[in-house]
A and B are shown apart, each in its own frame.
Chain A
Amino acid sequence: MSLIVSKIAELPGFEIIGIQFGRDVEFALKTALSGGVIFNNAGKPLSIFREAIAASTRDIEYHPKGILFQEFLSKGPYEDQGEIPTELVSSRLSDTDTASVITFIYSFMVNSFKHSISEMLAASACLRFVKGLQKVGELDENAQIYVGEAVNTLKVGRGLSRGADLYILIKDLKIPGPQSITLAGVVEVAAYSRPLCRLRKQFSGDILKATRGLRICGYEYSAEQVNVGYGRKHRVLRIAIQPGNSKLTRRFCPKTSPSDTTLHVHSDKSSFNNDIIERIGDDEWIIRLKWSKENLAAAAFEMSFWYMEKVGEVVFSRGMPKEWSDMTPAQAGRNATKMMLYHAILRCHTRREEQRAIALYNHYSFGFELGKKPLGSSLNNEL
């Protein structure tokens, strides 16, 4: 099995996450860039977007189960009940492997993309918040936001590690080069709501890491050059950015043309929501994005489907079933994903696995995670 990252000749544009949401992300990135937010090695919204996708793809690729996922597409689970016949054992994935692939797609792959999108959206929300604080004089005017890989923390020995998702740093602009820098805030971005105690633990960890030194856009600041906290009280802002709780519309609109009838999902109306800022402690804040968990999940599923297309290109370029001869390798990849998930549902041994497989199959086949019935729910939402 080969690696996919090197095979991706052309990274996608914003359209893969849906037209409306793609525009939102692009606008958020534009706002962030024009407001002076610093991203790593990227100066345009599209390049930031592509960089984020490439980073997520790399994470997926080098995950131990990344190769198993390729096997899932080429071999797939056994398609019937009972034990796998001995002659098929080598050409089918075992039930345990099938379950771990489902978990890998549902948890790791989708979450990896979800986190990338959240980070992109968080930059503009954080910028608005920082500008607000600067306006009321609570934060130095030179404070700047650094996103993702733009800032790394130095390890005690050698090497770098990833600290907070976003940093708010105050640099003395009058002195060129890495003299000293002030850590004014750490920002954690989550694609789901986290308990407060976990957030606080994470913030403490981020600040502790920063005290060991930072590498900011190529410049290294040793532990002595990093001042933790600003103002007389040495404040460090701790900001958590989380998605909102609103739901996506799920209305279907059938459209009939002379030749065919198609089913469209009703396009979502612009949300009434704005980012909601909550203060949870003296210097602790939660920003709830106007984009909901469902928005992020839908976009992440689309990105994961795009990734499967790329995996399919690699897997099926070596040959594909004769029934699929009219398909391109990319189409075969998408088709195989749906087919293997269809069979995977039959091989699930626990309710949780089955729910995940159904959610994935529905999403990739019909566009929505329909009918993800909560465990233990008596609600009958069948047709």
Chain B
Amino acid sequence: MIENWKLWSRARDEFVALLEDPKSRESQWQELFTRSPFILTDCLMLGIKPWQLIPCKPGRAEADFYFFPEAKNPSSPYGVIEIKRPGTHILKEPRKDVICLASDTYTAIAQAQKYALDLKAEIVRKLSHQIFIGNALHMFVISGLALEIVQKVITVLHRTQFDRHIPPGLRLVTYDELSDLLTSRIPPRLYLAVPRDPRMKSFRRDFRSPFGIRQLFMSMCSICGRDTEVPFKPIESRPVFCQDCYTNLKKF
């Protein structure tokens, strides 16, 4: 995970700007992912370092990105990533409630499979003494998909039925999903134990579940007398401090 918040934010802004541009080209996307490879390595959870993702030149009969094990570590995941424009339709509805993959999608899948096989052959030739076992080969096709169609697919065919159309070992990632993942990878800018964001003070959280709601209790700072909130119910014998006093106290 790239820990630099600014880097992630900039990547997200560029991603969103490009996504909003209806005329964005494949090469622009490739440039973006080359500049910020951590979008792919982290969001797709490839288990590799960003610099291990290798871009190919646009326009050549190669995958857009590929990653493969180094000689020192021949068992790390390897695979290819094929990128399509966000405008590319990957589903079509020939009849009412009948949804199947569009021809562009089949082409993209076939491309990804071919490039992946080429890569595998290359690796096996280079590292013939190694045995590959398990599901280390990853193929990704990133393509566009209107959100409403995704929802329709989920309701009509269910996701499992949709996934059945996709060959094993290949992941079809939509820009919507990638955008969601990218946003979720950006760590919140919280550090101190006491919430600093004024918006957070209005949130009420329950005792029970961390993923649910937890309650904050109003209290008065024992040093400066300002109102403050803490996630536990204070008792008289123990003081409660506001954010500034708490930080100052910690500097002893």
Please list the residues of chain A having a beta carbon within 8 angstroms of any beta carbon in chain B.
18-19, 76, 79-82, 129, 132, 244-247, 249-252, 254, 260-269, 271-280, 286, 288, 298, 301-302, 305, 321, 323-324, 327, 331, 334-336, 338-339, 342-343, 345-346, 354, 358, 361-363, 365-368, 370-371, 373-374, 377, 379-383
Interface residues of B in 183-212 (CB under 8 A from A): 183-193, 195-197, 199-200, 202-205, 207, 209-212
B44 contacts A338, CB within 8 Å?
Answer: no
Question: A302-B210, A381-B191 are known contacts; what are 14 more A-B pairs with Cβ within 8 Å?
Answer: A250-B188, A262-B205, A264-B213, A273-B47, A277-B136, A278-B136, A279-B131, A323-B233, A331-B207, A339-B232, A354-B250, A370-B188, A377-B3, A381-B187
Q: Which residues of B contact A367 (CB under 8 A)?
A: 205, 209-211, 214
Contacts A79-B238, A262-B203, A269-B184 hold; do A345 and B211 have CB atoms under 8 A apart? Answer: no
Q: Which residues of B contact A323 (CB under 8 A)?
A: 233-236
Q: Give the size range of B's interface with the partner.
A: 35 or more
Count the A-B residue pairs with Cβ separation under 8 angstroms: how many?
A: 182
Write the nearest CB–CB distance from B98 to chain A, whole angstroms.
26
Please list the residues of chain B having a beta carbon within 8 angstroms of any beta carbon in chain A.
1, 3-5, 42, 44-45, 47, 75-77, 130-131, 133-136, 171, 173, 177, 180-181, 183-193, 195-197, 199-200, 202-205, 207, 209-214, 230-239, 246, 249-250, 252
A269 contacts B136, CB within 8 Å?
Answer: no
Which of A132, A276, A381 is within 8 Å of B5, CB to CB?
A: A381
Write the nearest CB–CB distance from B44 to chain A, whole angstroms.
6
Q: Which residues of A contact B134 (CB under 8 A)?
A: 129, 132, 275-278
How far apart are the CA atoms of A346 and B241 in the complex, in Å? 11
Contacts A251-B183, A264-B212 hold; do A383 and B231 have CB atoms under 8 A apart? Answer: no
Contacts A269-B180, A345-B193 hold; do A277 and B185 have CB atoms under 8 A apart? Answer: no
- For the complex of A and B, list the 7 residue pairs with the smallest distance between their C-beta atoms, beginning with the closest: A367-B210, A277-B134, A371-B191, A249-B184, A278-B75, A365-B231, A263-B203
Residue of A nearest to B188 (CB): A250
Q: Which residues of A contact B183 (CB under 8 A)?
A: 251
Residue of B nearest to A365 (CB): B231
A334 contacts B188, CB within 8 Å?
Answer: no
Which of A275, A354, A366 is within 8 Å of B195, CB to CB?
A: A366
Which of B136, B188, B209, B212 is within 8 Å of A276, CB to CB?
A: B136
A266 contacts B184, CB within 8 Å?
Answer: yes
B5 contacts A80, CB within 8 Å?
Answer: no
Q: Which residues of A contact B233 (CB under 8 A)?
A: 323-324, 327, 335, 339
Write the nearest CB–CB distance from A243 to chain B, whole angstroms.
12
